[in-house]
Structure 1
């Protein structure tokens, strides 16, 4: 189904019937009887841990991960004292892929000290869609945010900030709940696509639920010469961050780098509030390692992925990468690089071959992909410094969460440069948590970014509204072996890229080739159901299935192979159930049986 068809359907009602309208599958399978998942008491999950004080344990117990009535007022449990509830800092990177983890000192540090989630995913590997779902704890069909940008001006918005605001997501975001329960809430960095200042137009208002709102936009993708917001006397204002000339000293140029400005905003917030009477929540959202969006770089010779100057190899310096040097990265760090896509061709339900959705060869040579990989790693070092600084600044009653809005591919699976697929390169993200009572070790549970909002509410001692599809991860903090969920779901809407989309530039038109799909992932397999038809009146389903038992990437579509039939059928049943659950949108409560489909 085309984006225009989606627009026609969406015009009938805000955020209505995404899966039903966009990717309604074959006749539903019989509904499976799956019990609702109830939140575990952290006192049980964390029994015996000497890391949590009595006051902190009491706070976590009050925040056990049970889904509430959906009424924000009833979800608040009263105002707690500062010492009674923890501070929370989330660092949300932009397009950070798993191949970069090895270069990050902060991730190694957090892995040793806290929880590392080996199976953390996002609901859609697209910036605005993923971030909207993180804020609300809802799937894209619930938020109505399907794409990065709003689409045609005369239609209901399909994405971007217009869809996020227009469909009531600002009011449903977890930061509103936290602020209402007594938290000081701060935002620093990249917010949502199309929330920006355009000269001659009125600046959008501060979304509800933010005590401090320092959004960075403009040319921040390019590293320099951008704007940010701040609030003074109750009014949102903008500040321009000019780029020094190329002749300026390196330190001066790096001080004006977007990552450096975001770093200063973040550290200033923590210093201002760490000794306050109220607990705080802070989201830090760097632009790294997203590519620049302007065809011409700000500084001559800037690569597509522009690092700070201090992180670039020069005069015998190899750059500022951590445990693994940036300049040592090669295509060996990109599993599946250069694979022929002919054996990835989708299959119809009867096993016959369907139309291939991408037959174009990777337009980028291996040398370019290696250069991109190394530059992305160098870009990420500005985030690494910020995270390590945050870890030094916060007190012992603070949780720090590090993750990304999605991944990125650079030649893997025969694709070029981009994201948007349900493949591991794009939907698999790092997730690290440190804080009081977090027992160090790997977690095997499958998680989604829609779980984070409920997790923060749980830590704050408030009950999550019933419209959240995500579930708290707090029970896993004290018990690394706890596994409650074995599936995650993805959904993606095909789109025709415009010049306003930050992913349209310099990526070889990769994103607009991906059809709409829904998908389900287990620990060992991935089933994708594409809608190959662009006509709103028809559906043309095609499938890909990949097994991860013998390799970590998607080499060959095994949908029609008899030996995989039992797993394919089980995942098909999961998708059929998920179709039945797609009717709950916006502020409608999610039936417990639908939330428990991730079991």
Structure 2
């Protein structure tokens, strides 16, 4: 080897070694309330090109808790909610424990200790009051409280800044982009030798969903949110809330359409921001040295199962999120179907920095999954990737044995039991009158049966005449469906309820000779819908009585004053009420996906149990828990019990694939589900 060739070889070897050992830049791009199930990514072509086509899409990206502050706390710490104890967006969001313990052990503090220059720009946590800069951040620009697009306050490196309603100066999404670009450009020009870590936390598409003016006319008549389970209600086989949520009225449907449109419009500014970000990285020659992750703090629903809007639910539309990654060594235009989660972000960012994952973290670096995929077959020294993640909402109480809960629920939800429960109500036991659809009565055999009243209607008041007992499944299903619909509406203004009930009593009671001909069933249903829609859309009614509430429910009203920027809510539609959550919507779930199984198993604080098999039912239409044998339920419940209380790296044990045996403190534990 000649001296010149040897020198070139040595220089090349040193350069390659330096690249492998280098601390790469890392950027986390986080949106707020962005869905994947409703199709939002289909309207972000620049982000798709830059993050998906230039990197990996994790098609099974999930959050462990579909609520803003708990999920963001998990992103920052790599911990499940039951370990950082931020359960809600309220009191314990930036509470005492968070400030004293967990905020001191976030990606910011770990990366700063590793020599990174760190920056956080955008939304932090919902109850952040702007009075301090959290530890770990060299550059800090965070909005006070929750996401807004105009008229907000920020803590900018210790100084409080107030912003107004001028799009050019104040629009928050653009401000987040501009300050992020300024940070990168200044950093590369002044200290390119030092790696940087940047969190870009956008407000979109969170409410109040104010789009930039140039996008406010886009996506008219776009209905991608109307999925298979859109307005599928009521759902007597699902948890308490969905058993009582009825179909949306026309005004609710219109609201979901407009809200979906506004959400897509706000994301256009994010799409442009991502494009500007990567253009700058290319111009500064930093693409080769920078990792980027794109995701959201949780998903969203707009009309699914009749729920007008919101999050908090253990269903794909709320727990599944956009999840992309690109950077050195990351495959391009690849799709990984393995389950990844928000608790994996912190370990991944530490791994990129060459920092060993903290023992306290529950997640795992996504670079491990990339390595597993590259090797195709797992080597003996490489742990397999998980096939399960824990989904949790709320604190953990002690529940009865799963066998007892299951038997009680199965008995309760049998059609015969549901029929008996409904028939005990006085409204179904009165004699048939004109307009009445059903009548229940108790047989000599001790069972409840039903009449179809409309089959007895006549001009001679024969509606009181007896007829043969109907035992067909279709009749029972129809009766229970109507009963469920009448038991619930989307919220309530009390005066509307009173008026509606009074109108029902005014129906002809089939007495004596004063007989009127009955309306056809379809005409009655149409009249009822028009009456209800008219009442809900009546602004005078809403103005006089704003009692938008129902027992145990979290209900809200919406009017033309809600949105300040186009597209506006039509004044002609007035104010309406809807209920999007309930006090007992507390649950713990296993989301499992592998070569043979794809399911969501949940236990609720109400002792309700649900199981959805995505291989047979991809839209979670049917709770198929009754198809499971009790021994299988006991296995699932045991795994869930262990995940609900797992600490540190124990959590990897209970999310590992089936038949994977690990050694833990000289004790063999097998996840055999």
Is the partner of 1:560 in helix, strand or coil? helix
Confirm or deny that 1:486 pairs with 2:387.
Answer: yes
Confirm or deny that 1:360 pairs with 2:253.
Answer: no
Q: Pairwise mapping of residues 396-407 of structure 1 onto structure 2 (< 5 A)?
A: 396-407=288-299
Superposition deviation, residue 129 in structure 1: 0.3
Instruction: Rate the CA distance shift 1:415–1:56 in 2: closer, same or farther, 3 A.
Output: farther
Which among 232, 242, 263 is matched to residue 376 of structure 1?
263
Which among 317, 338, 342 is matched to residue 231 of structure 2?
338
Deviations 1:563-595 (A, max 9, x none): x8787555334213324x44x3xxxx4437646
User: Which has the higher mean CA deviation after the structures are superposed, 567-576 or 418-427?
Assistant: 567-576
Q: Paired residue for 2:611?
A: 545
Instruction: Rate the CA distance shift 1:242–1:427 in 2: closer, same or farther, 3 A.
Output: same
Is the partner of 2:178 in helix, strand or coil? helix
Q: Considering only CA atoms, is the larger Rg found in Structure 1 or Structure 2?
A: 2
Q: Paired residue for 2:161?
A: 239
| CA contact 2:591–2:601 (8 Å) conserved in 1 | yes
Which among 24, 43, 54 is matched to residue 103 of structure 1?
43
Confirm or deny that 1:256 pairs with 2:170.
Answer: yes
Q: Pairwise mapping of residues 45-444 of structure 1 onto structure 2 (< 5 A)?
A: 54-55=16-17, 58-59=20-21, 84-98=22-36, 99-109=39-49, 110-150=51-91, 159-163=92-96, 165-166=98-99, 168-197=101-130, 203=131, 205-217=132-144, 221-231=147-157, 236-244=158-166, 253-275=167-189, 276-292=192-208, 305-313=209-217, 319=218, 326-327=219-220, 329-330=222-223, 333-346=226-239, 358-361=243-246, 363=248, 365-394=252-281, 395=286, 396-440=288-332, 441-444=334-337
| CA contact 1:189–1:216 (8 Å) conserved in 2 | yes
TM-score (norm 2): 0.62
Flag structure 1 segments of 5+ consecutive residues without an equivalent: 1-52, 60-83, 151-158, 198-202, 245-252, 293-304, 314-318, 320-325, 347-354, 500-504, 533-540
Instruction: Rate the CA distance shift 1:387–1:164 in 2: closer, same or farther, 3 A.
Output: farther
Confirm or deny that 1:530 pairs with 2:604.
Answer: yes
Distance (Å, rounded) in 2 between the aligned partners of 1:437 and 1:344: 46
Instruction: Rate the CA distance shift 1:415–1:241 in 2: closer, same or farther, 3 A.
Output: same
Distance (Å, rounded) in 2 between the aligned partners of 1:87 and 1:425: 32
Count of aligned pairs: 445
| CA contact 2:584–2:605 (8 Å) conserved in 1 | no
Q: Could you say which structure has the higher helix fraction?
A: 2
Flag structure 2 segments of 5+ consecutive residues without an equivalent: 1-14, 377-383, 396-551, 557-561, 563-575, 659-673
- Root-mean-square deviation (CA, aligned residues, Å) is 2.6
Q: Which has the higher contact order (CA 8 A, sep 6+)?
A: 1
Distance (Å, rounded) in 1 between the aligned partners of 2:222 and 2:204: 18
Is the partner of 1:188 in helix, strand or coil? strand
Q: Paired residue for 1:248?
A: none
Confirm or deny that 1:577 pairs with 2:503.
Answer: no
| CA contact 1:439–1:480 (8 Å) conserved in 2 | no
Q: Paired residue for 2:622?
A: 556
Distance (Å, rounded) in 2 between the aligned partners of 1:448 and 1:569: 26
Superposition deviation, residue 512 in structure 1: 3.3
